[in-house]
Amino acid sequence: MPDKCRTGPVDRGGAGWTLAVAVLALCAFPAVEADDCPIEIDPPAVVVKYGDPISVNCTVFTEHMGMGWVAKQNPVPNQQGVQSLLWTVENLTVWDINPQCFANFKRVPQCLKKVSVTVYKTPDSVSISSENHTSSLVERRQHRLVCEVQNVAPIQNLMVKWYKGIEVVNITLYSGESKTPVNVSSTFLITPNRTDDGTQYKCVAELHLGPEGPQPPPAVESEPFRVTVHYAPSLISSSSEVMEVRKGEKVTLNCTAQGNPPPVYSWNTSHLQKMDWNKSVFTFSFLAPATYTCTADNYLGFESKHFTIQEKPGSLNTTWIVIITVAVFLAVVLIVSCCIYKFKG
């Protein structure tokens, strides 16, 4: 039997049997779905959340032999003597509900008016991860982030937005005709640099259900996904320094480099002697003239810095200063002694 004849369960006794006969007779006429049907639906389009109540009123403006509702949940059988008939469901649990109000007239086809019903469901969960299931990414390499949206309907009304901080950086739309919940995913390719270290990404699943739908659109967002960007060490100053110092003058060697993971430091001299130093900055009260090389490295690369220590031109050796001082002192003593000797003689 075509849909237009499905007016709900019919009791085959008494008035119910009469109704059944009337319906069978009406089925001999093809149903008409036309704009000029004397039927008004209010509201003509409904957006309802799965499991919520719904109510639509049907009004017939001319004399009729009966009216009712065809629906997969709570159908209303043919009723006479009424001009308006309400179709109500307290807990909508049918995805493709497709309700239709019908009216029967003498010697004319049955009239049908459909109601546009969109049944929606927000996602059970929205989550974001990287393709390799780690938040540690490598600088200048392409990485794929994946947003998983679980159990959402209808998919053709779904929009997934990607955020970097507070900025929308990507939008994914979906096509299809499915009215039941599905699982979907959205991917976003990024090539991070070191300034992206600590940046938070998130994805938001929104259902854009038109003017009849809730405003703002229902949305479920993921937990923030904080990325850690690994990059090779980079010196914060030039890769070589020439330093002229006097004996006893303090000397500071600064080999600080930025890297992630933090770099490990090693030192050696121009005599190929490896120094037992493991820091980036050292201050010395005395440092012999030589070339000192510092290397900062992690698993992605390394940077080296060379310090050339030279004795400052014109500086006097401490030993010679002492010798000259003693010589001058002895000369003075000798001269004074000679003068005294001559004076006594």
11 has pLDDT over 90: no
Please give the residue range of the domain that contains residue 78: 3-120
Nearest to 85 by CA among 124, 56, 120, 122: 56
Of the three residues 98, 120, 142, the one that is the final residue of a domain is 120
Q: Are residues 236 and 150 in the same domain?
A: no
Q: Are residues 91 and 161 in the same domain?
A: no
Q: Are residues 194 and 250 in the same domain?
A: no
Q: Are residues 7 and 108 in the same domain?
A: yes
The Cα 335–Cα 307 span in angstroms is: 49
pTM of the model: 0.74
Nearest to 128 by CA among 180, 190, 194, 181: 190
Structural contact between residues 212 and 43, judged by C-beta atoms closer than 8 angstroms: yes
Domain assignment present for residue 335? The answer is: no
CATH of the domain at 278: 2.60.40.10
Highest mean pLDDT pick, 147-151, 321-325, 329-333, 336-340:
147-151
* Region label for 107, one of left (φ > 0), alpha (ψ between -120 and 50) or beta (otherwise): left
Q: Which amino acid is at 321?
A: I
Q: Are residues 11 and 110 in the same domain?
A: yes
Edge-to-edge order in the sheet of strand 274-275: 240-245, 301-311, 290-298, 264-269, 274-275
Q: What are phi and psi of 124, to 5 degrees?
A: -70, -35
Q: Are residues 108 and 205 in the same domain?
A: no
Q: Are residues 296 and 191 in the same domain?
A: no
What's the structural domain count of the chain?
3
Structural contact between residues 240 and 306, judged by C-beta atoms closer than 8 angstroms: yes
Domain assignment present for residue 328? The answer is: no
Domain assignment present for residue 325? The answer is: no
Domain assignment present for residue 340? The answer is: no
Domain assignment present for residue 339? The answer is: no
Q: In sequence order, what are the beta bridge partners of 153?
A: 121
The Cα 251–Cα 166 span in angstroms is: 47
Domain assignment present for residue 327? The answer is: no
Give the confidence band of 5 by pLDDT, cuts at 50, 70, 90: very low
Domain assignment present for residue 254? The answer is: yes
Q: Are residues 254 and 215 in the same domain?
A: no
Domain assignment present for residue 345? The answer is: no
Structural contact between residues 206 and 172, judged by C-beta atoms closer than 8 angstroms: no
The Cα 205–Cα 213 span in angstroms is: 15
Which residue has tokens 């990287």? 130
Instruction: Give per-residue pLDDT as tens, 37-77.
Output: 899 999 999 999 999 999 999 999 998 999 999 999 999 99
Distances (CA, A) of 127 to 142, 162, 205, 254: 20, 12, 10, 44
Q: Which amino acid is at 183?
A: N
Q: Are residues 145 and 54 in the same domain?
A: no
Of the three residues 56, 90, 120, the one that is the final residue of a domain is 120
Average pLDDT over the chain reads: 85
| Residue 153 DSSP one-character state | B
Q: In sequence order, what are the beta bridge partners of 144?
A: 189
Instruction: Give per-residue pLDDT as tens, 213-242.
Output: 999 999 999 999 999 999 999 999 999 999
What stretch of H or E contains 343? helix 318-344
Nearest to 241 by CA among 281, 277, 278, 275: 281
Instruction: Give per-residue pLDDT as tens, 238-285.
Output: 999 999 888 778 899 999 999 999 999 999 887 766 676 778 898 888
Nearest to 93 by CA among 221, 165, 181: 181
Q: In sequence order, what are the beta bridge partners of 163?
A: 168, 202
Nearest to 237 by CA among 294, 305, 308: 305
Structural contact between residues 295 and 277, judged by C-beta atoms closer than 8 angstroms: no
Q: Are residues 38 and 67 in the same domain?
A: yes
Of the three residues 180, 209, 226, the one that is the final residue of a domain is 226
Which residue has tokens 């959340």? 49
Q: Are residues 161 and 216 in the same domain?
A: yes
Q: Tally Cβ neighbours within 10 Å of residue 275.
A: 13
